[in-house]
Chain A
Amino acid sequence: MDPAPSLNRMLGPSQREALALAALARECAAAGEEQRVMHLRFSALPSDHNRLHHQRLLREALLPLLRPTRARLFDLPSGDLVAVSPPPGEHLDLVRATMQKLLGGEREAAPIAQELRLPQQAAALLALVESALGLGAEHWPTTPIPAETGGTGAQPQTADILAAEAALVQADLSVHHRWQTICLLVDGGPGPQPLWREQRVVEADLEAVLLPQQSLDATPWLRRRFRARLDKRALAQWARPEELRGFSPSGLPLLPASLGEEEFLRLDAMLPAAIRPQVTLGFSLPDILADPDAFAMARRFAGLRGYGTALDDLDAGLLPMLPGDNFGLGKLKLRFSAALLALDGPGRAALEAALPAERDRVVLTGADEPIAIGWGWERGITRFQGRVIEQLLTPP
Chain B
Amino acid sequence: MQQHPPQPQATIWATRPVAPGGQALPAGGQTAPAPRRSAPLNEAVRRCQSDAAAGLVVAAAEWPQMAASLLEDVANTTGALVWRPRQGGFWLLGSTAAAARETLGLFKSMGWPARLLLFPGDIAVLDAALEEDAALPAIPAANPPGLIGIEDRARAMPAASGHALATIWRLEAGLPKLLAQRWMVEPGTLPTPPGRDWAGHAQGLLASRLLQRAARQAWPAARKQQLPLLLDMPWMPPPGSLPAPPPGAGAGAGARAGARAGVGPEGCGHALVLPLPAAAEAGAWAALAAAHGWELAWAGLTPALAHLATPQRLPGRLFFAEYSPLVASTAWPAPECLVLQGGEGRAALAFAAKHGISLCSRMG
Interface residues of A (CB under 8 A from B): 157-159, 162, 217-222, 224-225, 228, 257, 259-262, 265-266, 268-270, 285-297, 300-301, 303-304, 315, 317-318, 320-321, 323
Contact B196–A162 (Cβ < 8 Å): no
Contact A289–B201 (Cβ < 8 Å): no
Asked whether any CB of chain A lies closer than 8 Å to the CB of B277, the reply is yes
Q: Which residues of A contact B354 (CB under 8 A)?
A: none
B106 interface neighbour in A225, A292, A304, Cβ under 8 Å:
A304
- Other A-B pairs beyond A221-B197, A265-B66, A304-B70, 15, CB < 8 Å: A219-B204, A221-B201, A224-B200, A266-B6, A270-B5, A289-B276, A289-B280, A289-B305, A290-B275, A292-B276, A296-B304, A297-B63, A315-B280, A321-B282, A321-B308
CA distance in complex: A257, B106 (Å): 19
The 10 A-B pairs at the shortest CB distance, nearest first, are namely A269-B5, A290-B277, A221-B201, A221-B200, A265-B69, A286-B280, A266-B5, A289-B277, A292-B302, A289-B276
Interface residues of B (CB under 8 A from A): 2-6, 62-63, 65-66, 69-70, 72-73, 106, 109-111, 147-151, 196-198, 200-201, 204, 235-237, 275-277, 279-280, 282-283, 300, 302, 304-305, 307-308, 313-314
CA distance in complex: A291, B62 (Å): 14
A292 interface neighbour in B70, B282, B304, Cβ under 8 Å:
B304
A297 interface neighbour in B110, B235, B305, Cβ under 8 Å:
B110
Q: Which residues of B contact A286 (CB under 8 A)?
A: 277, 279-280
Contact A222–B65 (Cβ < 8 Å): no
Contact B111–A220 (Cβ < 8 Å): no
Q: How far, in Å, is A217 (CB) from chain B's closest CB? A: 6
Q: Which residues of A contact B150 (CB under 8 A)?
A: 158
Contact A260–B109 (Cβ < 8 Å): no
Q: How far, in Å, is B106 (CB) from chain A's closest CB? A: 6
Q: Smallest CB-CB separation from B67: which chain A residue?
A: A260
Tell me whether A285 and B204 are in contact in the complex, defined as CB-CB below 8 angstroms, given that A221-B235, A321-B308, A321-B313 are known contacts.
no
Q: How far, in Å, is B18 (CB) from chain A's closest CB? A: 11
Contact A290–B65 (Cβ < 8 Å): no
Tell me whether A222 and B236 are in contact in the complex, defined as CB-CB below 8 angstroms, given that A162-B148, A257-B196, A266-B5 are known contacts.
no
B237 interface neighbour in A218, A257, A295, A317, Cβ under 8 Å:
A218
10 pairs across A/B with beta carbons < 8 Å? A158-B148, A162-B148, A221-B235, A260-B65, A266-B3, A266-B4, A269-B69, A300-B111, A304-B106, A318-B280
CA distance in complex: A217, B151 (Å): 17
Q: Smallest CB-CB separation from A285: which chain B residue?
A: B280
Contact A218–B2 (Cβ < 8 Å): no
CA distance in complex: A290, B305 (Å): 11
Q: Smallest CB-CB separation from B199: which chain A residue?
A: A221
Main secondary structure, interface of B, reads helix
Q: Smallest CB-CB separation from A257: which chain B residue?
A: B196
Contact A293–B148 (Cβ < 8 Å): no
CA distance in complex: A295, B69 (Å): 18
Tell me whether A224 and B110 are in contact in the complex, defined as CB-CB below 8 angstroms, given that A217-B237, A292-B302, A315-B280 are known contacts.
no
CA distance in complex: A149, B314 (Å): 35
Q: Which residues of B contact A287 (CB under 8 A)?
A: 277
Q: How far, in Å, is A391 (CB) from chain B's closest CB? A: 30
Q: Which residues of B contact A261 (CB under 8 A)?
A: 65
Q: How far, in Å, is B8 (CB) from chain A's closest CB? A: 9
Q: Which residues of B contact A303 (CB under 8 A)?
A: 109
Q: Which residues of B contact A317 (CB under 8 A)?
A: 283
B201 interface neighbour in A158, A262, A266, A270, Cβ under 8 Å:
A158
CA distance in complex: A222, B202 (Å): 10
CA distance in complex: A303, B105 (Å): 13
Tell me whether A262 and B65 are in contact in the complex, defined as CB-CB below 8 angstroms, given that A221-B200, A290-B200, A297-B110 are known contacts.
yes
B279 interface neighbour in A222, A260, A289, A301, Cβ under 8 Å:
A289
Q: Which residues of A contact B314 (CB under 8 A)?
A: 321
CA distance in complex: A243, B66 (Å): 23
Query: Considering residues B5, B65, B66, B110, which has the most beta carbons from chain A within 10 angstroms of its beta carbon?
Result: B66
Q: Which residues of A contact B109 (CB under 8 A)?
A: 300, 303-304
CA distance in complex: A253, B279 (Å): 20
Q: Which residues of B contact A289 (CB under 8 A)?
A: 276-277, 279-280, 300, 305
Q: How far, in Å, is B305 (CB) from chain A's closest CB? A: 5
Contact B66–A259 (Cβ < 8 Å): yes
Q: How far, in Å, is B81 (CB) from chain A's closest CB? A: 17
Q: Which residues of A contact B65 (CB under 8 A)?
A: 260-262, 265
Q: How far, in Å, is A150 (CB) from chain B's closest CB? A: 15
Q: Which residues of B contact A293 (CB under 8 A)?
A: 62, 302
Contact B147–A158 (Cβ < 8 Å): yes
Q: Which residues of B contact A297 (CB under 8 A)?
A: 62-63, 66, 110
Contact A269–B73 (Cβ < 8 Å): yes
Q: How far, in Å, is B187 (CB) from chain A's closest CB? A: 14
B204 interface neighbour in A221, A262, A270, A301, Cβ under 8 Å:
A221
B148 interface neighbour in A159, A259, A315, Cβ under 8 Å:
A159
Q: How far, in Å, is B120 (CB) from chain A's closest CB? A: 30
